[in-house]
Amino acid sequence: MRKMYAKVGVVPNADGSAMFAFGDTVAIAAVYGPRQLHPQHMQDPGTGILRVNYDLLSFSVYERKKPGPSRRSQEISKVTEWALSPVLDLKEFPNTVIDVQVYILQADAGTRTAGINAASLALAHAGVPMKDLVCSISVGKLDKNLVVDLDKDEEDYDEGEGATDFPIAKIASTNEYTLLQLDGKIQPGVVKEILGLADKACEEIYEVQKKALKEAIEQ
Amino acid sequence: MSAMECSNMTKETLDRMFTEGKRFDGRGLLDYRPIEISFDVSNKAEGSARVKIGKTEVIVGVKMVVGEPYPDSPDKGNLTVSGDLLPMASPRFESGPPKFNAIELPRLVDRAIRHSGILDLKELVITSGEKVWIVIIDIYPINDDGNIIDAATIGATAALRKTMIPVLDEKGGIDYHKKSKTPLSIAKDIFPMIITFFKLGDSVLLDPTREEQEACEARIAWGISKWEGQHMINSCQKGEELAFTRSDVESMMDLIPKKFDEVSEKLKKFF
């Protein structure tokens, strides 16, 4: 795995915030809420909602990314919501929204997984009641070799069976997966093996996240 | 608003029935409804297909246009998948800018098709670095009775298999008045599909009706095909808010190759 770095409290205005890096991939996340949801007709008296907005900043990639949402960023926003909501008890906060903003400062593959790790930390830092932290990692396959935490060069590998990218998120101390996405060619039997690798990586991520939260309290 | 909404009573009833392995229409939890494929939905399309799974109906058309290659792949043509959830197909679909489900559906189909290897983009080059074919697959559900993703992917594969490359005139434009005799070159032994598992409580099922789908709390769409004789997962996306456990995923990995073979066998008669 690439060197990880995590820090909470990077956006003082937010109720909670964090940064998370896998090597050259750097994500920051900020949480606002639970706060009243507007427009009012979107409010649900039965539950609060989680609303994630993920995007690449325009200078985070080689070819400048045009600002504004794309189909890709809308999809990643949604899968990030799905990855995080199982650890939140949103029914405790009817009529409200928890807004999570995730931005990528520097992209070298694994931006959605870095974003989820940052967002999970930011939610904890905001004091939103959570069952557990969510940890996320991308496991990949280059031709027939399994690798953890792909960077951009590895993602573009196209020999033999090519590159498979398998981003995964799990509820840290359980066997429950909240993000499973995949692109490439992989045999069903290998998927099981990959979950094992993801579990090990997530243990390391969990330690980095816990350390960052502790440091914030000690300050 | 969530794509899945239904009354608590329906949900509780279905949860109880699924736990007992029962469904309203008498199918087992992992049984598909009958699947039917027909072709030539539009004679203006380069290839088209209509797929029915039970009462769910999706039409898919392929158009081909001449364009420029992407700068980073001068020796490859392009594949684009798009489509819309037409308001005619369901009271749940609305006109206006595409909602998330309408954005997600073509993206899921795109990944399952693209990574299966059915289409070799290198064969779509007209002049290297300058002119290439762009294959555009458009997906339109006509009637949504659940499981649109699986139906759309079968439709996309079926339409690709019937696609003819348009004839070019001397200036390099398309001459629509000349009938094409050149089929789009695809790998005939590769038939990408998506098999989507749905979860309610602890029960996992396939091919839900709309009512069942709306009661479910999570779904996971697996793109699958066979490559060099081996089953290959080509894409995956978990959706909605419930988590899948390790044992859920492991039993799906055992089931998927069997289901894929079973469905492929049933679809053979249409080709």
Beta strands (DSSP E) in chain A are: 4-8, 16-22, 25-36, 49-56, 96-106, 134-142, 145-148, 163-171, 176-186
The tens digit of pLDDT for each residue in A162-209 reads 888 999 999 999 999 999 999 999 999 999 899 999 999 999 999 999
With tokens 């609060």, the residue in question is A48
Name the burial class of residue B213, with classes exposed (0-12), middle (13-18) and buried (19+) by CB atoms within 10 angstroms of its CB: buried
The tens digit of pLDDT for each residue in B3-23 reads 456 788 899 999 999 999 999
With tokens 């859920």, the residue in question is B248
Task: Write down the pLDDT at residue B139.
Answer: 98
CB contact under 8 A, B253 and A192: yes
Q: How close, in Å, is residue B261 to chain A by CA atoms?
A: 14
Q: How close, in Å, is residue A146 to chain B by CA atoms?
A: 15
First to last CA, chain A: 29
How far apart are alpha carbons A208 and A204 in whole angstroms?
6
Domains, chain A, ordered by start: 4-218 (3.30.230.70)
Residue A160: pLDDT band with limits 50, 70, 90: confident
How far apart are alpha carbons B154 and B160 in whole angstroms?
10
Pick from B156, B159, B161, B148: which is nearest to B221 by CA?
A: B148
Does this complex have an ipTM over 0.90? no
Task: Write down the pLDDT at residue B5.
Answer: 66
Helical segments of A20-150, H only: 71-84, 111-125
Minimum mean pLDDT range among A13-27, A70-84, B2-16 = B2-16
Task: Write down the pLDDT at residue B167.
Answer: 96
Helical segments of A45-161, H only: 71-84, 111-125, 152-155
Helix (H) or strand (E) holding B115: helix B100-116
The tens digit of pLDDT for each residue in A1-11 reads 999 999 999 99
Looking at chain B, which residue has its C-alpha nearest residue A171? B243
CB contact under 8 A, B246 and A177: yes
- Does the beta carbon of B245 lie under 8 angstroms from any beta carbon of chain A? yes
Q: Whole-model pTM? A: 0.92
CA R_g for chain B: 19
Average pLDDT, consecutive stretches of 10 residues, N- to C-terminus, chain B (271 residues): 67 96 96 98 96 98 96 94 94 89 97 96 95 97 97 98 95 92 95 98 96 96 95 96 95 97 96 92
Domains, chain B, ordered by start: 8-270 (3.30.230.70)
Looking at chain A, which residue has its C-alpha nearest residue B230? A187
First to last CA, chain B: 40
* Chain B partners within 8 Å of A179 (Cβ): 238
Nearest to B238 among A82, A171, A175 (CB): A82
